[in-house]
């Protein structure tokens, strides 16, 4: 396992740009919703101001006169309290309205965001997943989306509400008393200065927190999926030690970020309490100096206003870390969405053909099992149709995952329809790489690959891949029934075609022994099935696809000898009439190949049939006789 590196704290690269993009995405042109949210916020803010002013009215016009006159007539006070309660009810309803509106906005935005992320993921080239851990990609759909949800549903509306409340309350405070307003502003300046210092320190850790969280999730997924390998090689302690390093990095960044974020609340609250004491003292002095012109009710109202002014500032400071988390997550998500799609500049399509009474083939929309490449020519000449046969030619192919480091050198070979071509050689020789080039998972640096005489760069990737069936060593089964997993090879396959494909692969007998037969539900990548059974289903999936070209990458290496004998006759029937490329570990399975390519260091060093290569006495002879090993 690679040595783990500790990362230095990082900031979001461009938080302003990310916020603008996220804000535009959230409302998606429906700014009328934002209008109603702001309207409800304005109403609740005005209610806050009214409640404070009403307090002054209640004290000065009702409570104090009643106390002086010792009156027992509570009806005027009761009417005022009822009006006060009614106005407060309006404020409560406006807060409820803005919450409901933002819940709808957030859920709609998150739905669209997940859809766009998933669509983007399906458009990405294989090379993207080679460079990014699956756990890191999953973290975008979970942790980062969750932080955005919290920002949209809570933080965003609170920021708008707090900002508007500050404006209205500030105007009300000035109208009440300018001197006491100056005291509040001084206290707020101190609060903002402390918030800035704390916020700057906090912002350095939130981007790193999300990155470390993704690393932890990715490592857990990796260890869980490879748990058998970990146990086989007794690396439990090593895995735990490496996880503890990752977990410790996450703890430190989360602790530091949360520490600064959590400090904001207590700091603002204590400054607010200190401000409250100062205002009471200043108000009492003003009341004494003015000889009662500045009333007790005015002091009470201003205290209420100051609280309504300070609380939103404290609330804003508490939302800073939520915004930082959300922006860090949004930046990572937008980075995914901004990844380049898999390039497909092909224009040759695979179309259905039907044979007329005169024996000529013409294009049609219905499924006929007769296919042809539809090749429109850019020079304006007539569109040509080339029958789909499975004729493959590689001519002087050079390829490297890194263009500066080639792994295949001058690969040239041909496979006529119905021929079986085998690749043998040590691990890393380039066998699987060649087969990956046939369906354009990667594009070559030099040379040509032709399918039925057509450069595959001209063929739409979707159509090309539908003509190339692949059976991998590592079988992946989806959650669903056996029938649905086989139908994955051809989504419109009938039940009869599925059964026929299973029989062809030799899977029918074991399927019928299961309780629900073809309707048996599979979960957790076919848990409960043997490796051989899972591979048989993979072969059946390729059989129902019925492609003219078939790639078998160590397809039977995971099957025991007995199971291999069961499936061999089915495999022979499946390969009949198709162009087949086989990567084999067991050399006994490639003896009947039309041609065997022996690869070493990305070059074909020997080629010929079994008898020719044995007679040559070279690398293949050494491998076949056991003098050398496939490692």
Local mean pLDDT, 10-residue blocks, the chain (631 residues) = 38 78 85 85 84 77 72 77 86 86 87 92 86 81 88 82 85 86 86 74 72 84 77 79 89 81 72 79 82 78 82 74 83 91 90 84 83 84 87 93 89 91 86 89 92 94 89 82 90 90 87 92 82 85 88 70 65 77 79 90 92 90 70 45
Q: What is the pLDDT of residue 556?
A: 64
Per the domain annotation, does 584 fall within a domain?
A: yes
Per the domain annotation, does 228 fall within a domain?
A: yes
Per the domain annotation, does 120 fall within a domain?
A: yes
Question: What value does the CA radius of gyration of the chain take, rounded to a whole number of Å?
Answer: 36
Per the domain annotation, does 449 fall within a domain?
A: no
Q: Using alpha carbons, select from 147, 149, 145, 158 the residue that is nearest to residue 105.
A: 149
| Range(s) of the domain holding residue 26 | 19-337
Do 140 and 238 belong to one domain?
Answer: yes
Do 366 and 469 belong to one domain?
Answer: no
CATH code, domain carrying 201: 1.20.1560.10
Q: What is the largest CA-CA distance in the chain?
A: 125
Q: What is the pLDDT of residue 5?
A: 37
Cα–Cα distances in angstroms (integers) from residue 323 to residues 23, 148, 258, 320, in the given order: 12, 8, 13, 5
Query: What tokens appear for 330 in the block?
Result: 């949004």
For residue 225, the tally of other CB atoms under 10 A from its CB is 12
Distance CA 48, CA 46 (A): 5
Do 216 and 125 belong to one domain?
Answer: yes
Do 381 and 504 belong to one domain?
Answer: no
Per the domain annotation, does 396 fall within a domain?
A: no
Do 260 and 370 belong to one domain?
Answer: no
Do 361 and 473 belong to one domain?
Answer: no
Do 431 and 516 belong to one domain?
Answer: yes
Q: What is the dihedral of CA 514, 520, 521, 527, to 10 degrees?
A: 20
CATH code, domain carrying 529: 3.40.50.300
CB-based contact 259:152 (threshold 8 Å):
no
Query: What tokens appear for 312 in the block?
Result: 């939103």
Q: How many domains does the chain have?
A: 3
First to last CA, the chain: 20
Per the domain annotation, does 401 fall within a domain?
A: no
Do 313 and 372 belong to one domain?
Answer: no
**Chosen domain end from 337, 364, 396:** 337
Do 426 and 329 belong to one domain?
Answer: no
Phi/psi for 338 (5° steps) reads -90, -5
Do 333 and 361 belong to one domain?
Answer: no
Cα–Cα distances in angstroms (integers) from residue 489 to residues 314, 481, 486, 537, 549, in the given order: 58, 14, 6, 11, 14
Per the domain annotation, does 564 fall within a domain?
A: yes
What sign results for the dihedral spanned by CA atoms 362, 367, 372, 378? positive
What sign results for the dihedral spanned by CA atoms 255, 256, 259, 261? negative
Do 304 and 359 belong to one domain?
Answer: no
Distance CA 631, CA 174 (A): 83
CB-based contact 161:99 (threshold 8 Å):
no
Do 514 and 375 belong to one domain?
Answer: no
Helix (H, G, I), strand (E, B) or coil at 608: strand
DSSP state of 519: G
Per the domain annotation, does 631 fall within a domain?
A: no
| Residue pointed to by tokens 């922006």 | 327
């Amino acid at each position: 396992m690679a040595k783990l590196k500790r990362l230095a704290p990082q900031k979001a690269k461009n938080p302003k740009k990310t916020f603008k993009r996220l804000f535009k995405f959230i409302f998606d042109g429906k700014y009328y919703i934002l209008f109603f949210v702001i309207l409800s916020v304005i109403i609740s803010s005005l209610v806050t101001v009214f409640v404070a002013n009403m307090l002054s009215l209640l004290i000065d016009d009702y409570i104090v006169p009643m106390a002086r006159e010792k009156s027992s007539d509570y009806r005027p006070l009761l009417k005022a309290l009822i009006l006060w309660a009614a106005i407060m009810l309006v404020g409560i309803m406006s807060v409820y309205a803005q919450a409901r509106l933002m819940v709808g906005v957030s859920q709609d935005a998150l739905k669209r965001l997940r859809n766009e992320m998933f669509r983007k993921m399906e458009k990405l080239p294989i090379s993207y997943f080679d460079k990014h851990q699956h756990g890191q990609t999953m973290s975008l759909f979970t942790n980062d989306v969750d932080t955005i949800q919290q920002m949209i549903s809570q933080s965003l509306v609170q920021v708008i509400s707090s900002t508007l409340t500050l404006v209205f309350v500030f105007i009300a405070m000035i109208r009440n008393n300018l001197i006491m307003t100056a005291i509040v502003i001084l206290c707020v300046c101190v609060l903002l200065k402390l918030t800035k210092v704390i916020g700057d320190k906090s912002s350095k850790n939130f981007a790193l927190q999300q990155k470390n969280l993704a690393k932890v999730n990715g490592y857990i997924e990796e260890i869980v999926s490879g748990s058998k390998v970990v146990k086989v090689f007794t690396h439990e302690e090593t895995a735990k030690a490496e996880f503890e390093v990752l977990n410790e990095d996450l703890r430190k960044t989360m602790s530091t970020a949360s520490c600064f974020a959590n400090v904001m609340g207590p700091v603002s609250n204590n400054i607010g309490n200190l401000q409250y004491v100062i205002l009471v003292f200043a108000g009492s002095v003003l009341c004494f100096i003015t000889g009662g012109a500045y009333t007790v009710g005015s002091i009470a109202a201003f205290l209420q206003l100051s609280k309504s002014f300070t609380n939103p500032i404290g609330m804003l400071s508490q939302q800073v870390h939520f915004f930082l988390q959300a922006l860090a997550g949004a930046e990572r998500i937008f980075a995914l969405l901004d990844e380049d799609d898999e390039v497909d500049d092909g224009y040759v399509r695979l179309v259905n053909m039907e044979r007329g009474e005169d024996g000529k083939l013409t294009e049609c929309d219905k499924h006929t099992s007769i296919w042809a490449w539809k090749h429109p020519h850019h020079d304006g000449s007539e569109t040509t149709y080339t029958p789909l046969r499975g004729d493959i030619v590689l001519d002087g192919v050079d390829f490297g995952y890194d263009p500066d480091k080639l792994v295949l050198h001058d690969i040239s070979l041909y496979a006529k329809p119905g021929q079986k071509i085998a690749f043998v050689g040590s691990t890393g020789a380039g066998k699987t790489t060649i087969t990956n080039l046939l369906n354009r998972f990667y594009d070559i640096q030099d040379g040509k690959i032709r399918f039925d005489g057509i450069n595959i760069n001209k063929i739409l990737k979707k159509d090309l891949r539908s003509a190339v069936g692949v059976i991998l060593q590592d079988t992946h089964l989806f959650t669903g029934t056996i029938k649905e997993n086989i139908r994955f090879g051809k989504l419109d396959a009938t039940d009869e075609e599925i059964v026929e494909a299973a029989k062809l692969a030799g899977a029918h007998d074991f399927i019928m022994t299961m309780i629900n037969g073809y309707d048996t539900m599979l979960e957790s990548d076919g848990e409960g099935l043997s490796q051989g059974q899972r591979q048989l289903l993979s072969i059946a999936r390729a059989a129902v696809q019925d492609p003219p070209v078939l790639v078998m990458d160590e397809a039977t290496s995971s099957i025991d000898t007995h199971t291999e004998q069961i499936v061999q006759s089915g495999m022979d029937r499946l390969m009949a009439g198709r162009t087949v490329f086989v990567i084999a570990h067991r050399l006994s399975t490639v003896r009947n190949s039309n041609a065997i390519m022996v690869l070493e260091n990305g070059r074909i060093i020997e080629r010929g049939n079994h008898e020719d290569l044995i007679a040559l006495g070279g690398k293949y002879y050494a491998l076949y006789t056991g003098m050398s090993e496939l490692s």
